[in-house]
């Protein structure tokens, strides 16, 4: 079974500096962005060192979509699954097609609560399951990168998977730490029991799949 690669993943843990944390605070309006050409290079600062290259499609076949967290002149700092949690990649704005995103998801770990907003107004609240104490869900700001039908794995992951740009730096004991375990919102048991992903009920998952576009910002807070 390799679908687990889609939903609960590992990246190198990189500490957030204060500047990076500030740049990830919610800003209005929020924009999702896709490469105008076949690929774009993500840099560590405007005009700086290359960190990663983003192609046209994700590993799951969706249009590659990043979230614009901050703008600096003709450059934008973006949230991408190709970078560690909390690290922005810088791209010339002209190389991306930007679309405003009116939806947003907020997840409170302490309350185990998901809140969906549209244009700032709350449209849905739902109880969720979160990571176990040994594999906690990492707080941070992410974006939805893929809507996935789990197919034969629906018994484990429910009807639907919303893959996120974030990574799980603390996978459960025994998991291969050399792999990149992605975070996601999918089905599963309530409580603090997961490998780091967020568990939601089927009705909420189907609603999220229907209304949230790729690039929807997802803020996970303690």
CATH code of the domain covering residue 180:
2.40.440.10
- The domain in which residue 131 lies consists of 4-10+102-221
Residues 76 and 32 in one domain: yes
d(CA 144, CA 162): 6
Residues 55 and 124 in one domain: no
The residue assigned the tokens 């639907």 is: 160
Residues 149 and 193 in one domain: yes
Count structural domains, the chain: 2
Q: Which of 101, 129, 145 is the last residue of a domain?
A: 101
Residues 34 and 125 in one domain: no
Residue 217: is it exposed, middle or buried by C-beta count within 10 angstroms (0-12/13-18/19+)? buried
Q: What integer pLDDT is reported at residue 12 of this predicted model?
A: 30
Residues 108 and 82 in one domain: no
Q: What integer pLDDT is reported at residue 153 of this predicted model?
A: 86
Q: Which residues pair with 220 in a beta bridge?
A: 107, 140
Taking alpha carbons only, the member of 135, 91, 88, 130 closest to residue 107 is 130
Residues 6+ apart with CB under 8 A from 82: 42, 51, 52, 53, 54, 89
Residues 81 and 176 in one domain: no
Q: What integer pLDDT is reported at residue 38 of this predicted model?
A: 87
Q: Which of 59, 86, 101 is the last residue of a domain?
A: 101
Residues 90 and 113 in one domain: no
Q: Which of 54, 76, 101 is the last residue of a domain?
A: 101
Q: What integer pLDDT is reported at residue 66 of this predicted model?
A: 98
Q: What integer pLDDT is reported at residue 88 of this predicted model?
A: 98
The residue assigned the tokens 């999918």 is: 186
- The tokens describing 12, both together, are 């190198």
pLDDT along the chain (222 residues), means of 10: 38 35 54 95 98 95 97 97 97 97 98 97 98 96 97 90 96 83 95 96 97 98 96
Q: What integer pLDDT is reported at residue 173 of this predicted model?
A: 85
Residues 108 and 215 in one domain: yes
DSSP state of 178: T
Looking at beta carbons, which pairs linking 76-79 to residues 24 or more positions away fall under 8 Å? 76/33, 77/23, 78/33, 78/42, 79/24, 79/141, 79/142, 79/143, 79/165, 79/217
Please tell me the pTM assigned to this model: 0.86
């Amino acid at each position: 079974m390799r679908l687990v690669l889609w939903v609960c993943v590992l990246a190198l843990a990189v500490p957030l500096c204060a500047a990076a944390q500030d740049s990830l605070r919610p800003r209005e309006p929020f924009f999702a962005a896709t490469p105008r050409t076949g690929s774009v290079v993500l840099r560590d600062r405007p005009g700086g060192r290359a960190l990663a290259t983003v192609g046209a499609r994700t590993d799951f076949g969706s249009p590659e979509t990043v979230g614009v967290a901050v703008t600096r002149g003709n450059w934008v700092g973006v949230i991408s699954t190709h970078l560690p949690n909390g690290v922005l990649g810088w791209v010339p704005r002209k190389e991306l097609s930007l679309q405003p995103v009116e939806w947003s998801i907020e997840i409170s770990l302490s309350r185990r609560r998901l809140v969906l907003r549209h244009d700032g107004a709350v449209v849905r609240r739902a109880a969720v399951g979160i990571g176990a104490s040994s594999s906690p869900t990492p707080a941070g700001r992410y974006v939805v990168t893929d809507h996935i039908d789990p197919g034969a794995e629906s018994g484990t992951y429910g009807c639907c998977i919303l893959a996120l740009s974030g990574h799980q730096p603390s996978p459960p004991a025994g998991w291969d730490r050399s792999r990149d375990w992605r975070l996601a919102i999918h089905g599963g048991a309530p409580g603090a029991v997961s490998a780091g992903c967020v568990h939601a009920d089927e009705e909420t998952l189907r609603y999220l799949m229907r209304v949230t576009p790729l690039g929807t910002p997802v803020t996970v807070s303690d």
